[in-house]
Amino acid sequence: MTEAFDPRALAAGLHRLRQAGRQEETGNFTLPADLHQAMEAQNFLAAAENISSNAWKVTVSPEGQAVTGPLHPYAEAASGANIPWFPGMKFETEIAVRLGKDLPIRTGAPYSRAEVVEAISAVHLGAELLVSAVRESGSISFLLFTSDRLGNSGYVLGPKLDKSVVDTAGGMPLKVTHAGRTIYDGPAQHPKGDVLTWLVDYANDGLRPDASLKTGALITTGTLSGAVVLTEPGETDILFGDARLNFSLS
């Protein structure tokens, strides 16, 4: 598109669509030209939504660039979590990690996986809800999808797990029911095999913000159940090994 890119205007448009529970096609947006512009728009969107939680999702672009987006609305299951449901909403079972120390940007040797594991103070079962204001999500413009907080529309933090689960999650039994029907029943499977792949990639990204990956930050690491469309609101129950997470969508 030839129209000049305005990150604030894109964020305002995405915010309006999200508030209305609506989607528009990629071609109706003026697209960011690079990751810097996409993250500018994402920051304006986060400000419009008054996001204050220090909780983030991490993934990777089709070109292999690690990217993040804030998780909102954020809730903890112990407090009786209830997240708004929207048509087209998808669900993912995930592992979330809390950092117990900073992972500052490095200019020398990259962080090893072991160093990232050492920085983790706690591991939790979690659930991410997704519905983008962009009808095609990131299939046409991943930069536009990044601007839209990578499609995140909610996150529920569940019980603590043994830290060793970052090594053993793959293959563990996982069953999810929603609104009285089973939507996943099988072994947990991460797209990269290792739940920490994208976090390690992001830790070693020299272009990430200086304030990223600080002590106390919560990072969710990617789906273990694929992305399942939730056709209606209702109660969701996750059984992962011996751990259980229960919350409502309304």
pLDDT digits (tens, 9 = 90+) for 217-244: 999 999 999 999 999 999 999 999 999 9
> In sequence order, which ranges of the chain are alpha helices (DSSP H)?
7-20, 35-48, 113-119, 142-147, 165-168, 197-203
Terminal alpha carbon distance of the chain: 38
pLDDT above 60 for 130: yes
Q: How many domains does the chain have?
A: 1
Q: Is the pLDDT of residue 67 over 50?
A: yes
Write down the pLDDT at residue 236.
96
Between strands 218-223 and 55-60, the pairing is parallel
Domain containing residue 118: CATH number: 3.90.850.10
Sign of CA dihedral 100, 103, 109, 113: positive
Q: Is the pLDDT of residue 1 over 70?
A: no
Residue 154 counted as domain residue: yes
Domain membership flag for residue 238:
yes
Domain that holds residue 68: 52-249
Task: Average the pLDDT over 110-116 and give the result.
Answer: 98
Residue 11 belongs to some domain of the structure: no
**In terms of Cα–Cα distance, which of 226, 232, 129, 127 is closest to 181?**
232
**Token representation of residue 1:** 């598109």
Tell me if 7 is assigned to some domain: no
Enter the pTM of the model: 0.95
Maximum Cα interatomic distance, the chain, rounded to a whole number of Å: 54
- Kindly state whether residue 14 falls inside one of the protein's structural domains: no
Q: Tell me if 210 is assigned to some domain.
A: yes
Decide if 33 is inside a domain. Answer: no
pLDDT per residue over 164-186, tens digit each? 999 999 999 999 999 999 999 99
Of 76, 105, 110, 121, the C-alpha closest to 215 is 121
Cα gap 97→78, rounded to integer Å: 17
Question: How far is Cα 86 from Cα 88, in angstroms, rounded to an integer?
Answer: 6
Burial tier of 1 (Cβ tally within 10 Å: 0-12, 13-18, 19+): exposed
If we measure between CA atoms, which residue out of 156, 127, 152 comes closest to residue 240?
Answer: 127
Query: How many whole angstroms separate alpha carbon 165 and alpha carbon 172?
Result: 9
> Is 34 domain-assigned?
no
Q: Is 122 within 8 Å of 220 (Cβ atoms)?
A: no
DSSP 164-195: THHHH-TT-EEEEEETTEEEEEEE---TTSST
CB contact at 8 A, 204 and 105: no
Do 163 and 157 contact (CB within 8 A), yes or no? no
Rounded to 5°, the CA angle 222-164-60 comes to 20
The answer on pLDDT for 77 being more than 60 is yes
Say what the pLDDT of residue 224 is: 98
